[in-house]
Amino acid sequence: MSMLLRECKVEVIRIFRNPYFIFWSLLMPIVFYVIFTKVVNQGMENQAEWNAYFLMSIAAFSVMGSSIMTLGIRMVQEKSEGWTILLRVTPLPASYYFIAKMVGQSAVHIFSICIIFLSGFLINGVTMPIGEWILCGGWILLGSAPFLAMGLLVGTMKKVDTASGVSNIFYLLLAITGGLWMPMEILPKLVQTIGMWLPAFHYGNGAWSIVRGDFPEVKNVLILVMYLLLFMVISVYSRRKQEVV
């Protein structure tokens, strides 16, 4: 157990020391938030509501991105450089490596969520009952599970360039079609229909519901769980296939 804990701790340290993580997962989303609440969408009739709503979008956007990209690309990198090969001849169980990667990443997400929520409060004075803050944060943290699984799937790719390209495209497509950049309602009808079946919308929608004072819909949970299982199965399968050399 202490072996697993130490492995998680090391992952957290490593992510924090990575300047790209700080830039893409913290700085970028906050800059986005400022642009879309202070510059572009100024003077809306329900500005306060929009500010809170968009804060959730941007937090979800950040955590989703680091789940898919940071996790996946780092795994490909460690594999292609030969580090994971060396780990295979140590007593560290293979499952610990994956668990530590996901747990470590999630621990960092708690930090990201806090920072982004805090900047929402500081920049736009977003306020909610403490329970709602915690619920939102918890939802964004736990709801990222299918995206972490997607990161694992990206992690099975062979080249860093491929992994980085593919995950970037998926990430941005998911973010747009899921209404994380702009509300679903203003997207074309076709995109809306497709987006309804993709995980990003349901991820964001859970947090938006909480902001409105509701709870996430059952459908949101079901679709996220479905994608979690789907990505897990595919990534376990392709990993098995790769191992038999």
Residue 242 tokens read as 């790769």
Quote helix, strand, coil % in the chain, to nearest 5: 80, 0, 20
Other C-beta atoms within 10 Å of 157: how many? 21
Considering only residues 145 to 184 of the shown chain, the ones binding another protein according to CB under 8 A are none
Minimum CB–partner distance for residue 100 and another protein (Å): 11
18 lies in the binding site for another protein (CB under 8 A): yes
Count of all residues that appear for the chain in the document: 245
Considering only residues 85 to 104 of the shown chain, the ones binding another protein according to CB under 8 A are 85-86, 88-93
x-or-dash string of contact with another protein, 48-87, rule CB under 8 A: ------------------------------x--xxx-xx-
Q: Is the dihedral of CA 151, 152, 153, 154 positive or negative?
A: positive
121 lies in the binding site for another protein (CB under 8 A): no
| Count of positions on this chain that bind another protein (CB under 8 A) | 23
1 lies in the binding site for another protein (CB under 8 A): no
**Nearer Cβ to another protein (92/194):** 92
Compute the distance between CA of residue 154 and CA of residue 10 in angstroms, rounded to an integer.
21
Compute the distance between CA of residue 4 and CA of residue 8 in angstroms, rounded to an integer.
6
**Nearer Cβ to another protein (14/219):** 14
With helix as H, strand as E and coil as C, how does 32-90 read? HHHHHHHHCCCCCCCHHHHHHHHHHHHHHHHHHHHHHHHHHHHHHHHHHCCHHHHHCCC
Identified binder of another protein from the candidate list 13, 27, 44, 48, rule CB under 8 A: 13
20 lies in the binding site for another protein (CB under 8 A): no
The site for another protein (CB under 8 A) is made up of 2-3, 6-7, 10, 13-14, 17-18, 78, 81-83, 85-86, 88-93, 244-245
